[in-house]
Amino acid sequence: MSHIVTEFGIQDALQQLGIKALNDGTSTGSENFGSGDIIASYSPVDGALIGKVKTTTKADYGKVMVQATDAFKTWRTTPAPQRGEIVRQFGEKLRELKEPLGKLVSYEMGKSYQEGLGEVQEMIDICDFAVGLSRQLHGLTMHSERPGHRMYEQYHPLGVVGIISAFNFPVAVWAWNTALAWICGDVCIWKPSEKVPLCGIACQHIAAQVFKANNLPEGISCLINGDYKVGEFMTQDPRVPLISATGSVRMGKIVAQVVASRLGKSLLELGGNNAIIVTPDADIKMTIIGAVFGAVGTAGQRCTSTRRLIIHESIYDTVKEALVRAYNQLKIGNPLDENNHVGPLIDTDAVALYENALRKVQEEGGTLLVEGGVLKGEGYESGCYVKPAIAEARNNFKIVQHETFAPVLYLLKYSGDVTNAIALQNGVDQGLSSAIMTNNLREAETFLSCVGSDCGIANVNIGTSGAEIGGAFGGEKETGGGRESGSDAWKIYMRRQTNTINYTTELPLAQGIKFDL
């Protein structure tokens, strides 16, 4: 057993979450969620086996659907404020288990313990948001053109919501969807990433405790495990009216086509190729903090990670030198140790993609300012630790146009006014998050205008990552167009209905049409 497991209390955390402690490869209790092949969860932190999970077969999935659809009959007729009370209790459970769940997120995924705690806090925050929302699922009232008539619209529960989440946020993105879907009267079936299955099991255990305590069917929240083939059970199923999928652009395009072929709805949160524009009026200190955290946080494995830094030529050298100094101060290692800034990539396949990006940028004519490389030796036995790298490049490089899910930051130079920088920023296929660093009001407002950033998120004087749950989260173009979390994102989880009531003894027709009998 690795010293990290004993020193940082991983076994205790698992036990608190209802998962068997680190073992010799026996099941972690996932037999409740599947009877298929076994997948193993290895920690990228130290390479240790955490546990093995049984996957969901087609027959298992059929049973899950029966459980979910039966639960929906009960849940949809529960008044929304009462559904809010259940979500409130779920949020309280998360508060009680924040530390062990944050620790599991850190150990199974590889992000820092502070980021793991932050992810659980996002779950708590969306529960709080959803509780208030449970009394605010508003429709509109409209004036009819016909006398003695009233028109209004209302929203009804949609049904079974299928959720496919990625490894990089193994619990928060599920909660963004689930808390809102529950409030709306939907039930959920979740397929977490096969790279972090224990996080899914832990969340299901927490939800099940709340449902049991309230005499509610566990089918309100269902879990299925496995690879993309298991996800296809949902995407192809006409009984699942909405699929919310987070992941790569390639995956999203497949999901969108399959779901559209049966006229279902998709909520897609896909890739990002996010940039920060740095103008001559930028605060350099703020810029460096935002850029470094955006580029190396979660080892560059956020969809909102900063990939490109678009710097005005007049301050390019100043920013470049400050960045290199900052990168030289980064500490890389065990993410459970709060002295470290950067943890591991999720697995060795991600390491290979990182190495390929460094090779490609040089082949296309770029220059490595901070060379990067794979770390080896004591503390890096998992083979998943890499050095964050910085490369001088051009926006039209093929590798720059591609989202590399690793800590590789590309520096791009622009001249002229801010519109030239905006053109570079928008000159990629993805459109998730963007930012500008400037104290110039005209530049900031241009960036936020209809001729500015084409991304779903546009920030001024903060970085590209760190979205709050109060605002709708999502992006445009190949990012998929979906919106999750705050604002009116709840509407995707419901079906809209327009109602007209005639309270007279006459039946006038719309548009003044006459039809006399």
Catalytic residues: 269, 303
Could you tell me which residues come within 8 angstroms of residue 128 by beta carbon, excluding any fewer than 6 positions away?
91
| Secondary structure (3-state) at 213 | helix
Give bridge partners of residue 477 from the DSSP assignment. 430
d(CA 371, CA 328): 11
At residue 321, φ and ψ (nearest 5 deg) are: -65, -40
Return the half-sphere exposure (C-beta side, CA atoms, 13 A cut-off) of residue 415: 0
Token couple for 254: 């497949």
Assign residue 365 a region (left: φ > 0; alpha: ψ between -120 and 50; beta: otherwise).
left
Question: What token pair was written down for 501?
Answer: 């009531």
Query: CA angle, 445 as apex, 311 and 419 as ends, to 5°?
Result: 45
Strand pairing partners for 269? Answer: 246
Contact indicator for 248, 164 with CB cutoff of 8 Å: no
Q: Do 369 and 411 form a contact (C-beta atoms < 8 A)?
A: yes
Closest to 185 in 3D by CA, of 215, 156, 154: 156
- Residue that the structure tokens 């949020």 belong to: 91
Cα–Cα nearest to 417, from 388, 440, 393, 450? 440
8 Å CB contact between 267 and 484: yes
Instruction: Give, for 411, the enclosing helix (H) or strand (E).
Output: strand 408-414
From CA 295, how far away is CA 276, in angstroms rounded? 10
